[in-house]
Amino acid sequence: MAFKVETLSFSQWAAAWAEPAGADPGAACLFQSPAYLSLWLDTMGRARRTEPVFVRVDTTDGRRVMLLPLGVERRHGLKTLTFLDGGVVDYAGPVRLGPAAGEIDWEGAQALWAALRAALPAFDIADLDKMPAEIEGTPNPLRWLATASQPSGWALPLEGAYDDYQRGLNPYAVDSRRKRRRLQDLGPVSFEIAREPLVARQFYDAMVEQKTRRYLETAGKDYFQTPGWSAYFSQVAAREDFGRQVHLSALKVGDRIVATHLGMISGDTFYWLMPTYEAGPVAKLSPGRLLMEELIGWCYGAGIRSFDFGHGDEDYKARMGGRRRSLLRLVRGDSLAGRAALKVARSKPARAVQDFYWSKLYRPPKPA
């Protein structure tokens, strides 16, 4: 199989997204949609000085293979080819796959990579991570090139009724009822969704305060100081399509916000993205988990079919009924400097440092 690779402007790429392909556009991942990428480029992309590279791949006989939203940015002095992420994206990969994508075998993947390298701007290292093994019901054509597995993605299929889920699948249901009663001793408990800008701003400010504290506790770093993060999350929360694509909610005791969540909706999937909760004695009553259960119940009522817990292998995701989604990572050196850097990074001393960092210094917080 031979390939034709084109680099497009963002507007051309967005138009190609809208063309008929092997699956409906709504089935593609939220994080690679033109609307989302426009926001990402204006915030994260600008702050990170990412050079976006929008790619279309067809076979030489004119059949659609895929679209790729890529970028080149400097990491440790090396030009790195990556998806448009910067730490705020749960899933990435090719999108709008055509039928030809499913025909690519190992040999075809090597030819595909050669065609991509020839068409893309120069880079030292390719680091394409968080890729689902299957996209839009079609095997990911880059899976043959993946060199490592990522932490998994997890999603809860919303089948049957919420009451059935609480009785049969949620192992925390009894404990949650007990803690909710204790929370009610402090004041009336309410679940609220931001539906107008003033409320959204209140919830957002509480979210930043609570999440900053949690980042400092678990990682010793305020990630909202990472270039682009504050502008990105602020613009997401400020969108006026509350309850449709952007979803900002809170659990309150009286007028006190004890937990918040900033998520997104795409098609029939709800994405659990940025949960926070208040510190102190109230944290022992698991307000973050109570808010998650409220959101799952809301999704059942809204006709949402999947509650996506996102990227990461925290225990609670499987315990709450989540199903694992395999994710892949492609890492390749494309220059002498890039190959040398990867060789050093893969050495035993370097791996030991990385293992220590991830196991000791950063522990992803569980919902309280």
CATH class name, domain 3-152+325-361: alpha beta
| Residues in the chain with pLDDT values less than 50 | 26-27, 353-368
**What confidence score (pLDDT) does residue 351 get?**
55
**What confidence score (pLDDT) does residue 13 get?**
96
Chain centroid offset of residue 145 CA: 21
Q: What is the pTM of this model?
A: 0.89
Domain 159-304 is found in CATH 3.30.420.40: no
Query: For residues 210 and 278, is the Cβ–Cβ distance under 8 A?
Result: yes
Query: For residues 334 and 117, is the Cβ–Cβ distance under 8 A?
Result: yes
Cα–Cα distance for residue pair 354/348, rounded to 1 Å: 10
**What confidence score (pLDDT) does residue 240 get?**
66
pLDDT tens column, 9-27: 999 999 999 887 655 554 4
Domain segments of the chain as ranges: 3-152+325-361, 159-304
**What confidence score (pLDDT) does residue 163 get?**
95
Query: For residues 312 and 151, is the Cβ–Cβ distance under 8 A?
Result: yes
**What confidence score (pLDDT) does residue 28 get?**
56
Residue given tokens 């694992």 in the structure block = 324
Nearest 5°: the CA angle 343, 346, 352 is 140
**What confidence score (pLDDT) does residue 230 get?**
93
Instruction: Name the packing angle between helices 197-219 and 229-238 (round to 10°).
Output: 150
Of the candidates 79, 2, 1, 70, the residue with the CA atom closest to the CA atom of residue 37: 70
**What confidence score (pLDDT) does residue 173 get?**
95
**What confidence score (pLDDT) does residue 37 get?**
94
Evaluate whether 3-152+325-361 and 159-304 have a shared fold. yes
